[in-house]
């Protein structure tokens, strides 16, 4: 899969080495069944259905014994080099792909626990970010009033919501930029998304409005909400 031209290609990279402790489940949450199939498979299927994606990679831990039952026979490559943190897992995946992806190719990093992704959202991200040098990400503008809590769960301040967004994934960056940003991050635990690592370089990724259906399944109650969205057509 080495490149031989200056044509920009788009690759999906899904870190899936987490254990999903907050889900209180007996297995990693990416393998929990939602709407009839593993959560991770929904995300994989969205990328496989997009004609813009050249290939999809999923990064798991070396001892993952479930992934081979989840990925399809074609279109997805499993990288067994997951790390202790999300950032380390992504960086390990990028290093494993060195030589297979060109520096200017775009990498779309997506959470395995966001089953509501659609080909339309992937296309929107790619088109609206375009050639923006700092890449970009799907996100939702904050519409609710934001409160700051003090001791005892008391509301002590109303925070202006102007300019506030809730980050989603995919987050898309050139391979070389993403690798440099993650490699330069001093604290893996402080990097909660890839955009924050790019921002630490002094760059400003572009915000592209996503969709509520692309929510992250974090707590048990999120499963029902995700299933309601998955029951609707992908548009």
Q: What is the pLDDT of residues 27-67, one digit of tens each?
A: 688 999 999 999 999 999 999 999 999 999 999 999 999 99
Nearest to 234 by CA among 117, 127, 112: 117
- Could you say which architecture CATH assigns to the domain 10-230? Alpha-Beta Complex (3.90)
CA distance 229 to 215: 9
pLDDT in tens, 181-195: 999 998 888 888 999
Check: CB of residue 109 under 8 Å from CB of residue 13: yes
Report the run of H or E that residue 11 belongs to, with start and end. Answer: strand 10-15
Encode pLDDT of 101-134 as tens digits. 999 999 999 999 999 999 999 999 999 999 999 9
The pTM score is: 0.93
């Amino acid at each position: 899969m080495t490149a031989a031209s200056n044509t920009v290609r788009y690759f999906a990279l899904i870190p899936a080495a987490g254990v999903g402790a907050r889900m209180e489940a007996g297995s990693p949450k990416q393998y929990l069944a939602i709407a009839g199939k593993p959560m991770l498979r929904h995300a994989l299927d969205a990328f496989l259905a997009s004609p813009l994606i050249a290939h999809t990679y999923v990064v798991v831990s070396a001892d993952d014994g479930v992934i081979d039952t989840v990925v399809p026979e074609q279109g997805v490559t499993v990288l067994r080099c997951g790390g202790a943190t999300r950032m380390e897992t992504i960086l390990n995946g990028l290093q494993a792909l060195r030589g297979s992806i060109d520096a200017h190719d775009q990498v779309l990093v997506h959470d395995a626990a966001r089953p509501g992704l659609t080909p339309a959202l992937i296309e929107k991200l790619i088109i609206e970010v375009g050639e923006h040098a700092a890449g970009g990400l799907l996100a939702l503008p904050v519409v609710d009033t934001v409160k700051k809590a003090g001791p005892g769960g008391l509301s002590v301040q109303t925070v202006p919501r102007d300019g506030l967004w809730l980050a989603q994934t995919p987050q898309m960056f050139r391979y070389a930029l993403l690798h440099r940003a993650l490699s330069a991050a001093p604290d893996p635990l402080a990097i909660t998304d890839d955009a924050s690592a790019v921002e630490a370089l002094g760059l400003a990724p572009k915000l592209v409005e996503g969709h509520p259906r692309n929510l992250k399944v974090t707590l048990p109650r999120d499963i029902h909400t995700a299933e309601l969205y998955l029951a609707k057509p992908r548009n």
